Amino acid sequence: MRSITEDAGVNAAAIHYHFGSKERLLDAVISRRVLPLNQERLKRLEHLEFSPANIMLPSQALLRAFLEPFVVMQVELGERTSPFGKLMARLWIEREQLPRPPLAFDDLVTRFAAAACRGRTDLLASEAAERLEWAVSATARMLHGARATGSEAVEPAADRFERLIAFLAAGLDTPGSQRPGATS
């Protein structure tokens, strides 16, 4: 908190007055970027859900709606150097130790998982949610684990993202545990 107040040029009392605690300050920092991001995700999902209710949604389109807003934000912030992206990756990894998930992200995953199950009888919502969580991890790895190729040039995130979407869609499309005749 001391370094934050020094960098902001304010005293610690101002931080406590406006936010009340370190946790609420962290929530405010995350909210500033994530709430508009999640609104965009939901807008894209609602556009996909406009099709007839019994029609399976295309996995690549669903994954794009879920992941692309974050990728675009990261690229705009400076793909490999974004402190916010690193913060979000760390919070994602450590979310089990947090007293609550940041910004109800689990609710967003639940909504997308239900959409992934639409028109399918083999996939449980819990399996779809798990696959979406793996997709978030893979996307964070793609963004923050980019390696130089060839002459030390880093491949653009858009190119890596296209390959990642194809890979993740195959995983989302894999039959779930509710295959005909399977026991649960």
User: What are the pLDDT digits (tens) for 91-127?
Assistant: 766 766 665 555 567 788 999 999 999 999 999 999 9
Q: What is the pTM of this model?
A: 0.76
Mind listing the pLDDT tens digit for each residue in 12-52?
A: 787 788 888 777 887 787 788 888 888 999 999 999 988 77
Residue 181 pLDDT: 52
Burial class of 122 by CB neighbour count within 10 A (0 to 12, 13 to 18, 19+): middle
For residues 88 and 26, is the Cβ–Cβ distance under 8 A? no
Among the listed residues 91, 61, 85, the one whose alpha carbon sits nearest the alpha carbon of residue 72: 85
- Residue 26, Cβ neighbours under 10 Å: how many? 15
Burial class of 3 by CB neighbour count within 10 A (0 to 12, 13 to 18, 19+): exposed
In whole angstroms, what is the distance from residue 179 CA to residue 182 CA? 5
Question: Which tokens hold the place of 126?
Answer: 């819990």
* Stretch among 80-89, 105-114, 163-172 having the lowest mean pLDDT: 80-89
Q: At 38, phi and psi to the nearest 5?
A: -70, -35
